[in-house]
Chains A and B, each alone.
Chain A
Amino acid sequence: MGLAKRIIPCLDVTDGRVVKGVNFLELRDAGDPVEIARRYDEQGADELTFLDITASSDNRGLILHIIEEVASQVFIPLTVGGGVRAVEDVRRLLNAGADKVSINTSAVTNPQLVADASSRFGSQCIVVAIDAKQVGDHWEVFTHGGRQATGIDAVEWARKMVELGAGELLVTSMDRDGTKIGFNLPLNRAISDAVDVPIIASGGVGNLVHLVEGVKEGGADAVLAASIFHYGEYTVRQAKEYMRDHGIEVRL
């Protein structure tokens, strides 16, 4: 027995509430973030990820209060992302109780941020989120919640981010996000094979088979899902039992 594959429920937070959309659109309210975090913790979640998708800068501070409250009650690793633009943003989130900070758009507009943040706080707390979409025969990095193409090859980008100091990569398939048809397995496999750091697969989970595929075929070290947990279709524990029954080592 050895290291367990991780299940990470993801909470998209806007204006202090958890929401979930389809392809980053049509947001539905899913509840109070602290309450949801506690529920997943009790169900045996291995980590929690919060993505702050608050559009207005007025409400950006809300996420800090939410993280502070969760961190004083939930003793598993917490990752926070969304709107991280500067080393100071990373510091604020870590001080609020985040264990890892996820950098997305700013990694593209300012790759030095990844290097600076990881040299200051350690690569163990720097996650680079890669949003990728299939373009022709390869995958391309998109930013701004999937709206903006960058022309950057996603696998090359993954290598570069690890060289700069990313300790983990969160790979989201923009074609799949919110669709419930499963992860983009070739994308995850290509990135997992290209780097030494752990990969979190994200985008498209609709059932428990998808989680198993993400690990076995996609080479993921952790699987991230939102809607299958938010709306009570499955508990985290059910997901773990299913993975265990399919030969995957999990923490139960």
Chain B
Amino acid sequence: MTHIAVVDYGMGNLRSVSKALEHVAPGHKVLVTSDPAQIAAASRVVFPGQGAMPDCVRELDARGLRDAVIAAAAEKPFLGICIGLQLLFEHSEEGNAAGLGVFAGKVKRFAAADMHDVEGAKLKVPHMGWNQVYQSQSHPLWRGIEDGERFYYVHSYYVAPEDQSLDAGFSEYPARFTSCVARNNIFAAQFHPEKSHNAGLKLLSNFVQWDGGN
């Protein structure tokens, strides 16, 4: 059996992601790697990321990983997490950076100044903590997870896909935003399944068993 590759481009702590994958997939080899050949050889690919998007793009290119990630996203079960979701889009307001352009659409910043909850209290940015995730389409990765289950988020930017049919899940802060996208073999989430307790582990476990189809 080949391995699960966790793409390492020097941005953020990948230990949590690999530990959580090992926990849900004891029979699989989890490889944290910055080697394009290891990504090409993997049976499935996890594309995480933390920090600022312009730095992420730069570090990805510095390691020559762009083509390997785009190729993986075209053909095998692929899970983007956090910046790994945002990078799939064409452009981010963060540092006016171009993404990989796998999907059409932009990455936008929460407008902190105009955001209040129903009681009028100021909402903070980053959006940090456990928010409810509503499933906008059925998907193998949602199997066994309740609609409206809480997942752990920490981010200041969110994706706005041009094609609304990509939307696989959303949260409200305070307005609805797309927090998961799905298309063919790709699923990507803004929240951190590796830090989202049982619900997050369930999603990772579903990913490890997923054949990339619907």
Contact = CB atoms under 8 A, between A and B. Distances in A.
A binds B: yes
The 9 A-B pairs of least Cβ separation, nearest first, read: A122-B51, A251-B130, A94-B13, A4-B130, A198-B124, A124-B154, A196-B112, A251-B150, A3-B131
B194 interface: yes
29 contacts: A2-B172, A3-B130, A3-B131, A3-B173, A4-B150, A6-B130, A46-B129, A71-B15, A71-B16, A75-B196, A75-B200, A77-B192, A95-B15, A96-B15, A97-B13, A97-B19, A98-B13, A99-B16, A99-B195, A121-B50, A122-B51, A124-B155, A167-B128, A196-B125, A197-B124, A197-B125, A198-B128, A221-B128, A251-B130
Contacts of A98: 13
B129 A198 contact: yes
A210 to B, nearest CB: 19
A41 interface: yes
B129 A3 contact: yes
A222 interface: yes
Given A71-B19, A75-B200, A75-B201, A99 B13 contact: yes
A4 B148 CA distance: 13
Interface string A54-79: 00000000000000000110011100
A76 B195 contact: yes
B174 interface: yes
A124 B150 contact: no
Contacts of B124: 196-199, 221
A97 B195 contact: no
A1 interface: yes
Main secondary structure of the interface of A (DSSP, over half): loop
A123 B197 CA distance: 23
B20 interface: yes
Contacts of B192: 77
B3 interface: no
A203 interface: no
A168 interface: yes
B52 interface: yes
A98 B15 CA distance: 9
A182 interface: no
Interface residues of A, number: 35
A168 B13 CA distance: 18
B126 interface: yes
Nearest to B154: A124
B: contact size bracket: 35 or more
B51 A121 contact: yes
Interface in A118-157: 121-125
A94 B15 CA distance: 8
A94 B12 CA distance: 8
B15 A97 contact: yes
A122 B12 contact: yes
Contacts of B155: 124
Contacts of A124: 50-51, 126, 128, 154-155
Contacts of A96: 15
Contacts of A81: none
B23 interface: yes
Contacts of A99: 13, 16, 195
Interface string A6-21: 1000000000000000
B119 to A, nearest CB: 9
Interface centre among A72, A99, A122, A198 (most CB of B within 10 A): A122
Given A2-B132, A4-B130, A197-B125, A95 B13 contact: yes
Nearest to B49: A122
Nearest to A67: B15
Contacts of A198: 124, 126, 128-129
Given A6-B130, A75-B201, A99-B195, A122 B52 contact: yes
A125 B23 CA distance: 23
